[in-house]
Structure 1
Amino acid sequence: MPIEPYLFFEGRCDEAIAFYRDALGAEVEMLMRYRESPEPPDPARLPPGAGDKVMHASLRIGDSVIMLSDGSCSGQPGFQGFSLSLAPADAATAGRLFSALADGGQVQMPLGETFWSPCFGMVVDRFGVSWMLNVAGPAPA
């Protein structure tokens, strides 16, 4: 049974989808806006004009799926206490992905060799989502 993270971007979901398409090659598998819902959302839960915001989206990144939404469109996303982990095949791929995710974000640990990996790094992207990139295999001796 796979675990699929669900991220709430509080009004910036379209921007996040475009970013992950460019940075990670993500593919949109499904996208529904609030105005497309078969059941109208509770107007007390969403601000006026939220009909074009993303109610639910599903992105495929490699063999994994993440789900996204604008949530309540409050403008206050809170991504704390977790990281999404990517397992690139090699250091060159890790470098490309890391640079893309770091654009507008903040590097927490630069890509480099560790005792468990030839290439590992941590970055928080422009939306506040924490990512770890880890190339499998032992570090070179």
Structure 2
Amino acid sequence: MSQVLDEGPFFHGTKADLRVGDLLTPGFRSNYRPEVVMNHIYFTALRDGAGLAAELAVGEGAPRVYAVEPTGAFEDDPNVTDKKFPGNPTRSYRSAEPLRVLGEVADWTRQTPEALEAWRERLAALRADERGQIIN
């Protein structure tokens, strides 16, 4: 029997316009390192964390947060757990299996333009730093 990492609910942030029942799958370019095609799909149990991801996502669409459910096994996201933060305070996960969209979530906290710019600057600094590599 495998250990349950988190009971959820779970969320995924994106600029894609999705529908209930759609499946989110790995195999797309990273929002943070566009030269990397991701082997996993990422999600979080923190609604506002998904909101931040949505606002930082590439693309022209509006940032959106979706409630999702994993369709298979998932693990702690090694890009933020232990490598950068002890444990998993961000409640961030990844799966090689699809996530099923359960519906769009409207009640998440938007970032201020200043906060978004600060996040973009941090991400640009990470891209320039060899230690900022994605564990794919």
* TM-score of Structure 1 vs Structure 2, range by shorter chain: under 0.3
TM-score by structure 1 length?
Answer: 0.24
Flag the structure with higher strand content.
Answer: 1
